[in-house]
A and B are shown apart, each in its own frame.
Chain A
Amino acid sequence: MSTQVTGRTKSSSRTQQPWLPWLFLFPAGLGYVVFFLWPTVRGIWLSFTEYNLLTPATFIGFDNYARMFGDPIFWNALRVTIWYVVLNIGIQTIVALLIAVLMHRLTQSTFVRSVVLSPYLVSNVVAAVIWLWILDGQFGIANQILEWIGIGRIGFLTDPNWAIPTIAMINVWRHMGYTALLIFAGLQTLPNSVYEAARMDGASETRIFFSITMPLLRPILALVLIMTVIGSFQVFDTVSVTTGGGPANATNVLQMYIYDMAFGRFQFGYASAMSVALLIVLAIITFIQFKVTRANDTDLD
C-alpha cells in the first residue's frame, strides 16, 4: 500500500518538476566544477606548456614528460614517497585496527574514544612543530632521555636513514586515532549474532578476530586503506615543517618537489606534469586496491 503511494508521488514529481534533482545537485556540482574539474583540466593543459606565471604559457608538447623521465630527482622523490607510504600505512593500519578491536571488544567508553582521537584534533603543522622540538638533536627531550638511558643521541630528522621513518611515525601518531575510529564504526555495523554464535561454538578471541571480524570488516578496511593511501601519497606539511626535504634529498617527497618546482622555481609546467604523474599513480593504485580487496562486495549477505 505504502509503496504504491510513494510510487505515485515519485512518478508525479518526475513529470512535474524535472529540474528539482538538478537544483539539489547544483551547489555540489558547482563546487565540483570550479574547485575540482576545472583545476584538473587546467593542470593537465599546463603540463604540456612552459609557464612561469608572469608570461603566457607556451605549448611544448611532451617535453615536460620527457624531462620527468630523465630527472633523477623525480625518481628519487617517487622512491622516497613510496617508502614513506609503506611505513606510514603499514604501521598505521595495524595499530589502528588493534585499537579499534580493543575498543570494540573491551570498552564502549566515550572518554577512551575521545582520547584516541585527540592527536587528530591537532593540526598537521602544529603536530610537526611539536615533534620537531621533541626530537631536536640539541635541546629535544627525546634525545635527552635517550642519553640518560645510555643509547645516545639520534639525529631523528637530520640523519638521512632516520628522517623518513621519523616523519612516517609522526603521521602515524596523528592519524591512528582517526583511522581507528573509522574502523571502529565499521565494527559496530557487524551483527552481534555472529559473535554470539562464535562464542557458543567456543571460539577464542584470536579465532573470532581472524575468522569473523577480519572477513566481515574487509569492505570497510578496503575503503579506509584507499583513503589513507591517497592521503599518505600527498604528504607535504610534515616534511615541509620538519626537514624541508633535506638532508640532501633524503626526505624530498613528491609533493615537496612539486611545490618547490612550482612556487620556488616558477616552473609551473613541469610541476603540473609531475602532478599529473602523481594523479595517474594514485588512480592505478586505487584501481588495484578496489580489485584486490573487492571493496564493493560484502560477505554479510
Chain B
Amino acid sequence: MSTSIGKKIRRTAALSAVAVLTFSSCALTGSSSEAEGNNAGTIDYWLWDTGQLPGYQQCANLFEEKTGKKVAITQYGWDDYWQKLTAGFIADQGPDVFTDHVAKYPQYVDLEVIMPLNELEATKNVDTSVFQGGLTDIWTGPDGNLYGMPKDWDTIAAFYNKDMVRDAGYTEEDLASWDFNTMDGGTFEQIVAHLTIDKNGVRGDEPGFDKNNVAVYGLGISESGGSTFGQGQWSGFAAANGWEATNSPTWGNQYKFDDPALAETLEWYFGLVDKGYMPAYGVFSQADGAAPQLTSGAAAITFNGAWMISTYAKADFEVGTAKFPTNTDTGLNMTMMNGLADSISKNADNPEDAAEWVAFMATAECQNHIGGEGVVFPSRTEATEIAARTYSEMGIDTWAFTEPVEKQEVFFFPITSFGADISALSVVAFEDIYANRKPAAPELEELNSSINNMFENSSK
C-alpha cells in the first residue's frame, strides 16, 4: 500500500522469517505447490496484503465464471514478496500479474521486466478516466506508457481517541480546524501538548509536567524517522510548509531534501520528542507501527495511512479522524497520496489472458466488491463511496481521507529511479535525526548530495 505498510524495518522481516522457520514444513510446502500451480491456462497472480486476499479471491471466481479462465492467487509477506518477484524475473518464472508499488516499479521499467498495458488488447481499452484523479499519472512511465492498472489509493490522516480528546476539553471541530507552523506549532501543538499526560496526571502544557515519565503521549509515531518520505508521519507537514521532494511531480531527476522548508519542519516535528509529547526512539517497538500505540491507550493521536482504517476500527473505544493541520504561514493543507496497481510481467505465459484479468480487476464489478470488503479505497471513483460506507458501518468516519482527494489537497509519493538506494540512504538519515536527534539541516544536505550524485553519475 505504501512503504509504511511495507515496513522498511528489517526487524519485521526477520521476525516473520522466524515464524516461517517455526512452521517451516507446512509453510514451505504450501507456498511452493501454489507457486508452481502454473498449469496451462491458469493466470498466476501475486499480492502481499492478506487483508485483500479474500476480496480478490472472489473477483477471481467471478472472472472464472465469466471467461472460464482460472486465476491462482498467491500471497507473500512484503519482504519475501519483492525478493521472490526479483528471483522470478531472473529465472523467467514468477507470476503473470502482480500487485505493484510506486517505490518499486520505476526499477522494473528501467530493467524492462514489466509490460506496457497500453500495448495489450484488453487493457488498452480500459477507460482510465473512471479512476480517482492522478492515479493514472503515477503509473505512467517516463516514456508515456501505462505500466500499472490502478487498483486502489490511499492518503494519510490522523486517528484520535475520542474519549481522550473529550476529557481534554476539546471538540471534534477543534481537531477538524487545527493549524500549525514550524515556529510554535500552532493550535496543533497546543492540542498535542494538552493531550499528553505524565505518570502523575499532569498535562503536557501544565507546570510540573515530567517529560521523562509520560503515561499518554499526545502524538504517537510510526517507523523510525519516517522511512523514505515520512509518508505516514511528517510528509503532510513538510508539504504544507512548502516542501516538494523532487524537481518534478513524477520522474524527477533531482531531489530537494536540502530544502530549508523540510529541515524546519523536521526540527519542529522531532522537537516534539524533546518536549515529551511524542515517544522517543526505542520507547515503543518500531516494528509494531503506530496503531498499537493508539489502540493500547499510550497515545492520543497517531497519523497513519488509509490502509490502516480497518485496524483502528477494532479499537475498544471510539476513534475519530482528522486531516493534517493547515500551515498558518502558507495556508496549505496537504496529504500524501499513493496507490497500488496491477502490473504484467514480461515472463507472462499468455500476456493477453493476463491483460484480461488486469482489466477485469479494474471493472466496477470487481472494484465495488473490493470496496465492500472495507480494506482499501478502490481506484474507481464510485467504488470509493462504497468503501466509505463500509468503513462508517465499522464505526470510522473517513472524511479526513477522502476530502483532500476531492479538494485536490494531495501530492504524490515521489516516483523516480533509484528507489531502493534512496530508501536505503534516507531511512538512515531520518533515523539519525529522530533517534540520535542530530541537527536536521546538515544531515539532509548530506543525504541530498549523495542521492543527486547517483542521478548525475547515471546520466553521464
Residues of A within 8 A of B (CB): 52-55, 123, 125-126, 128-129, 132, 136-139, 155, 157-160, 240-249, 252, 260, 263-267
Question: Chain B: which residue is nearest A163 at the CB level?
Answer: B282
Interface status of B168 (Cβ within 8 A of chain A)? no
Inter-chain contact B90/A242, CB cutoff 8 Å: no
Partner of B424, one of A160, A243, A264: A264
Complex Cα–Cα for A241 and B90 (A): 27
Complex Cα–Cα for A281 and B21 (A): 33
Inter-chain contact A53/B86, CB cutoff 8 Å: yes
Partner of A160, one of B10, B15, B436: B436
Q: Given known contacts A136-B285, A265-B424, is B435 in contact with A54 (CB within 8 Å)?
A: no
Complex Cα–Cα for A266 and B86 (A): 10
Inter-chain contact A54/B113, CB cutoff 8 Å: yes
Residues of B within 8 A of A (CB): 9-11, 14-15, 17-18, 21, 83, 86, 89-90, 107, 111, 113, 224, 281-285, 420-421, 424, 428-429, 431-432, 435-436
- Min C-beta distance of B16 to chain A, whole Å: 11
Question: Chain A: which residue is nearest B113 at the CB level?
Answer: A54
Contacts of B113 in A (CB 8 A): 54
Contacts of A244 in B (CB 8 A): 9-11, 14
Complex Cα–Cα for A164 and B76 (A): 32
Question: Chain B: which residue is nearest A152 at the CB level?
Answer: B212
Complex Cα–Cα for A264 and B17 (A): 16
- Min C-beta distance of B67 to chain A, whole Å: 32
Inter-chain contact B282/A155, CB cutoff 8 Å: yes
Complex Cα–Cα for A247 and B86 (A): 28
- Min C-beta distance of A18 to chain B, whole Å: 43
Complex Cα–Cα for A176 and B436 (A): 33
Q: Given known contacts A125-B14, A241-B11, is B285 in contact with A53 (CB within 8 Å)?
A: no
Question: Chain B: which residue is nearest A265 at the CB level?
Answer: B420
Question: Chain A: which residue is nearest B15 at the CB level?
Answer: A129
Inter-chain contact B224/A246, CB cutoff 8 Å: yes
Question: Chain B: which residue is nearest A249 at the CB level?
Answer: B428
Total A-B residue pairs with C-beta atoms closer than 8 Å? 82
Contacts of A266 in B (CB 8 A): 86, 107, 420
Partner of A245, one of B10, B86, B281: B10
Closest 3 CB pairs of A and B: A158-B282, A244-B10, A247-B435
Taking chain A's interface residues, is the majority helix, strand, or loop, or is none over half, making it mixed?
loop
- Min C-beta distance of B224 to chain A, whole Å: 6
Inter-chain contact A52/B421, CB cutoff 8 Å: no
Contacts of B284 in A (CB 8 A): 137-138
Question: Chain B: which residue is nearest A244 at the CB level?
Answer: B10
Contacts of A139 in B (CB 8 A): 285
Inter-chain contact B435/A246, CB cutoff 8 Å: yes
Contacts of A246 in B (CB 8 A): 224, 428, 431, 435
Contacts of B435 in A (CB 8 A): 158, 160, 246-248
- Min C-beta distance of A54 to chain B, whole Å: 5
Question: Chain B: which residue is nearest A137 at the CB level?
Answer: B282
Inter-chain contact B17/A137, CB cutoff 8 Å: no
Contacts of A263 in B (CB 8 A): 83
Interface centre among B284, B435, B436 (most CB of A within 10 A): B435
Complex Cα–Cα for A199 and B211 (A): 64
Inter-chain contact B11/A243, CB cutoff 8 Å: yes
Complex Cα–Cα for A138 and B298 (A): 11
Complex Cα–Cα for A237 and B431 (A): 21
Complex Cα–Cα for A263 and B224 (A): 21
Q: Can you name 17 A-B residue pairings with CB atoms under 8 Å?
A: A53-B86, A54-B86, A125-B14, A158-B435, A241-B11, A242-B11, A244-B9, A244-B11, A245-B10, A246-B428, A247-B282, A249-B428, A260-B424, A263-B83, A264-B420, A264-B424, A266-B107
Question: Chain A: which residue is nearest B224 at the CB level?
Answer: A246
Contacts of B15 in A (CB 8 A): 129, 241
Contacts of B14 in A (CB 8 A): 125, 128-129, 240-241, 244
Inter-chain contact A54/B111, CB cutoff 8 Å: yes
Question: Chain A: which residue is nearest B87 at the CB level?
Answer: A53
Inter-chain contact B428/A55, CB cutoff 8 Å: no
Contacts of A242 in B (CB 8 A): 11
- Min C-beta distance of B429 to chain A, whole Å: 8
Inter-chain contact B11/A159, CB cutoff 8 Å: no
Contacts of B285 in A (CB 8 A): 136-139
- Min C-beta distance of A160 to chain B, whole Å: 6
Besides A241-B11, A266-B420, A267-B421, 15 new A-B residue pairs in contact (Cβ under 8 A), listed by A number: A52-B111, A53-B90, A54-B113, A55-B111, A125-B17, A125-B21, A138-B284, A138-B285, A158-B435, A241-B14, A241-B15, A244-B11, A247-B436, A248-B428, A248-B436
Complex Cα–Cα for A252 and B431 (A): 13
Complex Cα–Cα for A132 and B282 (A): 12
- Min C-beta distance of B33 to chain A, whole Å: 25
- Min C-beta distance of A148 to chain B, whole Å: 15
- Min C-beta distance of B98 to chain A, whole Å: 16
Contacts of A126 in B (CB 8 A): 18
Contacts of B431 in A (CB 8 A): 246-248
Complex Cα–Cα for A93 and B344 (A): 55
Complex Cα–Cα for A53 and B285 (A): 34
Contacts of B424 in A (CB 8 A): 260, 264-265
- Min C-beta distance of B459 to chain A, whole Å: 15
Complex Cα–Cα for A241 and B15 (A): 7
- Min C-beta distance of A129 to chain B, whole Å: 5
Contacts of A243 in B (CB 8 A): 11
Question: Chain A: which residue is nearest B22 at the CB level?
Answer: A126
- Min C-beta distance of B113 to chain A, whole Å: 7
- Min C-beta distance of A264 to chain B, whole Å: 6
